[in-house]
Amino acid sequence: MIALGVDTSTPAGSVALAEEDRILGEVNLAAGGHHQERLLRGVDLLLDLAGQDISRVEVLGVGLGPGTFTGLRIGIATVKGLALARGIPAYGLSTLQAMALLHRGTGLPVAPMIDAGRREVYAALYDFEEKGLRVLREEHSGPPQEFLEALPPGPVLLCGDGTREYRDLIARVRAPGDRVEAGPCFLGSTLALWAVRRLREKSFWTLGALKPNYIRPSDAEARQRT
């Protein structure tokens, strides 16, 4: 079973192929601008480098956000198109949850932080149990200091571009025992492996369920409401 994972929710976009529990390859790109120009070329390159063909892909996984509004629409629309064209299932996963799964082997609670602009972050807190993720704090958007001060005192792993943007604040608010992963979170492989598991479990899916997880309204929507 071969899965294609697609994430364009943040500037750290990525696509990956997995066969069962094995990663066949991943193309990562942390760059400015939109992923629209690069996504399909990245998929083509990945398939070529892995010696695979799109006809062998049996399931798709995509990051639903939160993240950049245009990026979310690009990734989700592309995955929907591939699912329709191939007649294969497609599963969507919250970007914050995917970031937590990326770091599940650390043994620490994971607090993903995505820079949301407006001096805010998209953030949540997760731990792990036998069945998977356990939500300790629900996804939300808000001031980073408020989120950091609400975290438990014990060691926590903080990740995402929000940790890079607010590194000085983290150093002031949090204890030295925390672990900070400020590098890009490339999620293609995580999404591909997750999609394999979902298909194995025969999880229900619909294309209608692939909706952007914005958490808060866009700037344009916010202006319309005022």
Domains identified in the chain and CATH numbers: 2-95+185-225 (3.30.420.40), 102-181 (3.30.420.40)
More confident site: 175 or 162: 162
Q: Evaluate if pTM is beyond 0.85.
A: yes
Whole-number Å distance between alpha carbons of 4 and 6: 7
Q: What is the DSSP string of 22-37?
A: EEEEEEEEE-SS-STT
CB 76 within 8 A of CB 213: no
pLDDT of residue 218: 59
Least Cα distance to 107 among 179, 193, 198, 161 occurs for 179
Mean pLDDT over 53-76 rounds to 95
Query: CB-side exposure of 171: number of CA atoms within 13 Å?
Result: 6
Average pLDDT of the residues in 139-161:
96
Is the confidence at residue 220, as pLDDT, over 60? no
- Residue 147 pLDDT grade (very low, low, confident, very high; cuts 50, 70, 90): very high
Q: Can you tell me the distance from the alpha carbon of 9 to that of 118, in angstroms, rounded to the nearest whole number?
A: 18
pLDDT given at position 155: 96
* Spatial CA neighbour of 93 closest among 187, 176, 184, 167: 187
pLDDT of residue 33: 64
- Mean pLDDT (the chain, rounded): 93
